[in-house]
Structure 1
Amino acid sequence: MSTVQDGRGGDVRDTLAGTHEERLLAVLHARLVARAQDEGLLDVAYRVVDSPVGRVLVAAGDAGVLRVAFEVQGHDAVLDDLAARVSPRVLEGGDRLDPVLRQLDEYFTGSRTSFDVPVDLRLARGLRRDVVEALPRIAYGTTASYTQVAAAVGRPAAVRAVATACALNPVPLLVPCHRVVRSDGSTGRYVGGDEAKRTLLALERTPLVSGAPEA
């Protein structure tokens, strides 16, 4: 009996079997995550999704979104940090992230200007937290300088510290550190990469899709 090839020298039956096994593993993993969540054993759920600024990791605990991380930050390193600083009970998947992923998709397609999902800022402390909490006041489609943000948090001389706080913002995109620029109007650096920052600022200069929630 002849063997059907899959174009790469492999047996098509092997490919189909592999696909079936992948689906089965996905189903089993989904059940594991759901059970862990139901039994209170899932402290951090995460998913990695595609976006116009590359693959983005989003992680959330019971109190809200803990981390948003770009691929250039190293997703494995981010997960290791979450396991060390929040809980080792970290799993991929689950429905906890559905609302924030939906809102991110709406933002990237130009139909959302602000986010209303819960955010857990436990990973930002001291002045860094003050800065992160102030950033949402920079309206969609506008920018503020590092100097202006320093003044807004009552630390006008702490411009460098503000820049560091923006670089270490645990939830970029949701908390818009990309809207902070240099005093001369140049974009400055960005945790997701300079091109990602330019992309986000350009996105926010594009006319909104009708019906977008206002910031």
Structure 2
Amino acid sequence: MGLLAELFDGHVATAQGDPRSLAAVMYPIEQSYVSRATESRRREFAAGRSLARQAMASLGVPQAAIPAASDRAPVWPAGIVGSISHCSGLCVAAVARESQDCSSIGIDVEPATPLDEDLLDTICDDDELRWLARQAEPGRGLLAKAIFSAKESVYKAQYPLSRQIIGFHAVSVALDMASGSFLARFRVDAEPFLSGYQASGRIAITSEFIATSVALKNVKEKAAQRELSA
């Protein structure tokens, strides 16, 4: 589906829309979470939940509320993993049935504009900065924004499993724009992820948006195997 077409394999369902025009509906428990939020925040929240239900429906999953936990993370129905992201003019959702082939999902969308140069050192590690320095100047800022987006996707995918808040330098990203993919390497331990753990992701860029995705596989199984061998 448009921007999201190449971001996931067939077992992940996606949906996208413009939160400004989407006819979104919230369940009462969802409405209570954003009852004091601004109108734009309520609109984005509602769009994300509606799109997530649209994606779940394509998997044959019954309609259900998707409340937010105290840490603001979506609470998915049992047996479902997913991720929601939004930026100005676009909201996206990705969901899948939890399995060995899909332990967790992360998705992120950003405007296709250069990353603010003042944020480069905050977002990028030394390896990423050296790689960016070798890229042609006109597109360097956009690639930096792509690195930011990739890290956001990795964070969203790892958090439901680790419940740990990790910083931008906790993960190092290597983009491969020719193949529309990236490789993210953990530089810290965030159980069940250990330093050196690598996760592959995908990236798509249009004239308006950058989208990145990560689908983690067999994470719980690998963690159990480590415990047994310890």
| TM value normalised by structure 1 | 0.26
Higher strand share: 2
Higher helix share: 1
Q: Which has the larger radius of gyration?
A: 1
| TM value normalised by structure 2 | 0.25
